[in-house]
Chains A and B, each alone.
Chain A
C-alpha cells in the first residue's frame, strides 16, 4: 500500500469516517454500501469514485481496510480539489483540504458540539426508526451492529458520514424511500451486503440540524393524522414510535415511503422500546376494537379481524405474518391486547417498518391470571364467534384438545392486559408439552405394568426369604415369593390403570404387610419344608443339578407364588381364593405323597426296590437328577454312585432295572411334582414351587440368587415410586421372569413325559415281577 502521511486533522477526520463506516468493527469496510454512499456524498462522479477505489487498492482487496479507506479519502479530497488522481499526489500535495462529503460533512469540521446536540435529537429520532426496523434487520443481518450503544456516540461517528438532510434534505429521503420501496415488503429478505450496509449508512443520518428541524416540524401533525385515518387509508405516516434502544440505531432508518418524512416524527420520548404503544395509540386501538367487538374482554373472531385489517391495504402475506405474530395464544381470535399489537404492527408496516420476526416484548399480550378462568366463558359466548376458538383449539394439539381449550379460554379474558403474567408462554409450552406427553404416557403406562410389578414382588419375596433364612428357610420364602408376583401383578395393573404410581407403592407396602402377616403361615411351611428338607439333605450325595439357572428361575417363581398366596389372602378373596388354600395344603402334600407314592411303588414292585423305602429321602436327591433328566442316561451309566444312594438297582443288576429304579425314584419325585403340577392348575407356579423347594433344599447355591433377588425386592419395595423408575432392574427382572416361565413350561412338559414313562415303567415292573418267577425256570 502506498504510504500515506496524514496531518493530525486529517487523521482524526479519517478515523472518524472510518469508524462510521466500519459498523462491524471489523476494521475493514465492505466496498459497497456505506463507503460507496460516502463517496457519492462527496459529489464526485461515479467514474472518479471507481478510480479512487481502484487506486486505493480496495478493488484488489475487495474491501476497504483502514489504510485503503484513508487513501480513498485522501484521493477524494484530491478530486474535490480538482487535482488529478494520482497515487504520487497522495503525499505530495500539501494543504489539501479535507474531503468534503455533501451530507453535511462540513459540519464535521466545526461541529462536534453542535453535532452532538443535533445528533442527539436526531439520534433520538433516527434511532427510533432504525430501531424499529432494526428489530427486524438485526435478526436478519447480524452485521448491522447496533453501532452505538448510546445516542451520543452514534451521532459522533455517523455525523461525518452525514445525513442527507442537509443540502437535499428530501432527496436522501426520496432516495431512501425508493430504495425502501424497491425492497418492498421484503426488507427482511434484504439481500446482501449492499442492502445491509445501506441501512446503516442511511441511518447515520442523525446529524444535521436541518434535518432535525425538518423532523421536528413533521413530527406532531403527521402523528395525529396518520394512524387515525386507518380505515380509509391507512395512516400513511407518523407513527409515533418511540426511540429505540441504542442498539437499534443501526438499522435502517428505512425511510421508505413518501410518508417517510411524516413518519419520522418520533416524539422524543425516553422509551427505549421502538414498539411501545403510546397511550394515544392504545386509546385509538381500543376504540377501533370497540367498533368490532363491544366487549373489551371479548375476542375478535378471525374473520372480522381479517376484514378489518384487509382495509389497511397491506398484502395478504404481510397481514398473515402480522396475524401470526399477534395471535399469541394461537386461537384464531384476537383479544384486546392481541388486537392492539396487530394494529400497531399494521401501522408500523404501513409506515415502512419491517415486521419483526418475533413479537416485540412490548406488544406481547398480557395474559390474565388463571383465576379469571371462571369469568372467561362469559364473555366468550357474547362474542358470538366463540365457537371459533373452541373449534380451533381442539385442533391445536391433536392429543390434548381439551387442555388447549382451557388455555385459550383463559387467555381470552385478557381484559387485564395491563396485568402481566407469564401465562402465554406457559400455555404454549403447556400445550406442546401436553401434546408431547399425552401420547407417550398411556402407551408406556399400559405396556409396562405387569412385568414390572412382578419383579418387585419377587424381589420382595426373596428379601423375605433372606429375612427368614437360613438355608432351610429358603423354602418358606418361596411360597411367599410366589405370592407377591401375582398379587403385585394385579395391584400393579390397577395402579397403572388408575393410579400410576401411588398404587404401586401401596402394592409394595401391602406386600410387605402381607408377607409379615404370612409369617406364621410361612413358618408353618417352613416347618414342613424343613422336614422334607432335612431328610434329603441328609441323604444327599449326588452332585448338584445340571442346569443351575433353571432352578434359580423356578426358585424365584415358586417364591413369588408364595408371596402371591400371602397377598391374596389379605387383599381380596376373589383374587386368589384358591391360592390361599393351596399353599398351606401343598407342603404337607408332598411329604405324604412322596412317602405314599414310593410306598405304593414299593408295594407294586415288591421288594425289588428297597430303595423305594427311602424314596422320600431319595426323592430329594433324585430331584436334582430330575432336572437333569437329559443326563439321565449318563446317570444310569454312573450307576455306582446312584446305586449307592438308591441301593436299589444293585440287586437287579440290569441297566434297565437300575435305570428303572432310578427312573422310578425320579418318577416318584416327578410324580409328586407332577401331581402337584396337575392339581394346582390354578396357581401354575405351584409345581414349580414344589420342585423349587426340594431343589432349594438340595442346592444351597441357589439361595444366592434368591438372596440377591431379595435384596432387589427390598430395594424395590422401599421405593414407592412408580415401577417405571426402577428401569434397569425391572428389565433384568422381567428377563429373569421370562426365563423362569420358559423353564417352568419345559419342566412341566418334562413332568408329563416322566409321568407317562413312569406309568409305563410301573406296568413293566409289574410284568417283570410276574414273570420273574418264571425266569428262574
Chain B
C-alpha cells in the first residue's frame, strides 16, 4: 500500500501526484522531486546499451528512514514513483511491480482518451480509482 503515488512527465513536471493526506503532502512532493535525480541517474546509466533493453521497473530508488521510494520509467520517459512506508515490511518486490504494471496500464488508458492532451494533468476518474486502490486507506 503506497503512501504516495506520482506520475511525472518526460520534462520532469508532475502530471499526477497523490498522497495520503494525513501527513504533510509537501514532504511527499519533495521526496518525489528528489527521487527524480535517482531516476535520471538510473536511466542514463543504461543509455549506452540499447534503450529498449532497459527494464522499465527501476526498483528501490532509495530508502529514507521512514519511507522507501520505488521508481518505474516507461519508454516514453514518463516516470512513476511510488512511496511506501518503511514499516510496511510485508510489501514485496513483486507487489510493487504489479502496482507499477497497473499504473502503467491505466496510464495508457488515459493516454488513449482523445480528450486528454499529453502534458495535461491527469484528471481521469478511472485513473483515480486505480490509484485509490493502491493507496493506504486513509482512515
Contacts and interface: CB of A to CB of B under 8 A. Distances in A.
Given A302-B113, A306-B114, A398-B56, A321 B125 contact: yes
B124 A436 contact: no
B133 interface: no
B43 to A, nearest CB: 16
Contact size class for B? 10 to 19
B119 to A, nearest CB: 14
B111 interface: yes
A395 B124 contact: no
A332 B115 contact: no
A301 B108 CA distance: 16
A301 B115 CA distance: 12
A436 B105 CA distance: 11
A432 B114 contact: no
A397 interface: yes
A415 interface: no
A399 B125 CA distance: 24
B115 A320 contact: yes
B64 interface: no
Given A396-B105, A398-B56, A398-B104, A320 B98 contact: no
B102 to A, nearest CB: 8
Contact of A306 (B108, B111, B115): B115
Contact of A327 (B97, B105, B112): B112
Nearest to B55: A439
B126 interface: yes
Interface string B99-120: 0010011001101111110000
A contact patch SS: helix
A471 interface: no
A330 interface: yes
A357 B129 CA distance: 10
Interface residues of A, number: 28
A439 B57 CA distance: 12
Interface string A393-435: 0011111000000000000000000000000000000001001
B123 interface: yes
A316 B113 CA distance: 11
A326 to B, nearest CB: 10
Contact of B105 (A303, A306, A432): A432
A362 B34 CA distance: 48
B115 A323 contact: yes
A331 interface: yes
B108 A395 contact: yes
Given A317-B123, A324-B124, A324-B126, A436 B101 contact: yes
Interface in A549-604: none
B114 A397 contact: no
A392 interface: yes
Interface string B38-76: 000000000000000000100000000000000000100
Contacts of A305: 114
Of B108, B115, B124, chain A has the most CB atoms within 10 Å of the CB of B115
Contacts of A331: 112
Quick one: which of A323, A332, A398, A399 has the most chain B CB within 10 A? A398
B15 to A, nearest CB: 14
B124 to A, nearest CB: 6
A239 interface: no
Given A317-B123, A396-B105, A435-B101, A330 B114 contact: no
Contacts of B105: 396-397, 432, 435
A383 to B, nearest CB: 15
B108 A396 contact: yes
A319 interface: yes
Contact of A436 (B98, B109, B112, B115): B98
A287 to B, nearest CB: 22
A405 B108 CA distance: 14
Nearest to B129: A357
A398 B111 CA distance: 14
Nearest to B111: A395
A327 B104 CA distance: 18
Kindly name the residue among B74, B97, B112, B114 whose own CB sees the greatest number of chain A CB atoms within 10 A. B114
Q: Name, among B109, B112, B125, the residue most crowded by chain A CB atoms within 10 Å (CB to CB).
A: B112
Contact of A320 (B56, B74, B104, B113): B113
Contacts of A399: 101
A320 B124 contact: yes
A296 B60 CA distance: 49
Contact of B109 (A319, A321, A324, A439): A324
Given A324-B126, A357-B125, A432-B105, A302 B112 contact: yes
A398 B114 contact: no
Nearest to A303: B114
Contacts of A317: 123
Contacts of B126: 324
Contacts of B116: 320
Nearest to A301: B114
Contacts of B113: 302, 320, 323-324, 327, 332
Contacts of A301: 114
Nearest to A396: B108
B92 to A, nearest CB: 13
B112 A320 contact: no
Contacts of B112: 302, 327, 330-332, 392, 396
B72 to A, nearest CB: 10
A324 to B, nearest CB: 5
A651 B74 CA distance: 82
Nearest to A188: B125
A632 to B, nearest CB: 48
Contacts of A309: 115
A436 B97 CA distance: 10
Interface string A303-342: 1011001000000110111011001001110000000000
Contacts of A323: 113-115
A357 B128 CA distance: 12
A327 B109 CA distance: 9
Contact of B123 (A320, A396, A432): A320
A579 to B, nearest CB: 38
A554 B114 CA distance: 66
Interface of A: 301-303, 305-306, 309, 316-317, 319-321, 323-324, 327, 330-332, 357, 392, 395-399, 432, 435-436, 439
14 contacts: A301-B114, A320-B115, A320-B124, A323-B113, A323-B115, A331-B112, A332-B112, A332-B114, A357-B125, A392-B111, A395-B108, A398-B56, A432-B105, A435-B105
Given A392-B108, A392-B111, A395-B111, 5 more contacts: A321-B124, A396-B109, A398-B56, A398-B104, A399-B101
